[in-house]
Amino acid sequence: MKRFVCMLLCLALTAALAVPAAAAELSLSAASAILMEKETGTILYAKDEHTQLEPASVTKVMTLLLVMEAIDSGALAWDDTVTASAHACSMGGSQIWLKENEQMSVEDMVKAVCVVSANDCAVALAETVGGSEEHFVELMNQRAAELGMADTVFHNATGLPAEGHVTSAHDIALMSRELILHHPDIRRFTTIWMDSLRGGASQLVNTNRLIRYYEGATGLKTGSTDSALYCLSATAERDGMELIAVVMKAPTSNERFADAQTLLNYGFAGYTLVHVTPEQALPPIDVVLGSQDTVQPVLGGNTALLLPKDQAGALEQTVSLPPSVEAPVEKDQQLGTLTITAGTEEVARLPLTAGEAVARLTWGQMVLRLLKMGCFAE
Is residue 139 pLDDT above 90, yes or no?
A: yes
Is residue 359 pLDDT above 60, yes or no?
A: yes
Is residue 217 pLDDT above 80, yes or no?
A: yes
The total of other beta-carbon atoms located within 10 Å of residue 266's CB is: 18
pLDDT (0 to 100) of residue 362: 85
- b/e sequence 90-105, b meaning 16+ C-beta within 10 Å: ebebbbbebeeebebe
CATH architecture of 285-372: Sandwich (2.60)
Q: Please check whether residue 35 is in contact with residue 23, taking contact to mean a CB–CB distance below 8 angstroms.
A: no
Query: Could you tell me which of 303, 104, 99, 113 has the C-alpha nearest to residue 189?
Result: 113
Helices 133-146 and 119-130 pack at an angle, to 10 degrees, of 80
pLDDT (0 to 100) of residue 24: 63
- What is the spatial distance between Cα 249 and Cα 241, in angstroms, rounded to a whole number? 27
Query: Residue ranges per domain, the chain?
Result: 2-270, 285-372
What is the tens place of the pLDDT at every residue in 325-352? 999 999 999 999 999 998 888 988 999 9
Is residue 51 pLDDT above 80, yes or no?
A: yes
User: What CATH number was assigned to the domain covering residues 2-270?
Assistant: 3.40.710.10
HSE of 252, CA atoms in CB hemisphere, 13 A:
3
Better pLDDT: 84 or 347: 84
Average pLDDT for the chain: 91
DSSP 362: P
Is residue 12 pLDDT above 50, yes or no?
A: no
Is residue 116 pLDDT above 60, yes or no?
A: yes
Active site residues: 57, 60, 117
pLDDT classification of 11: cutoffs 50, 70, 90 = very low
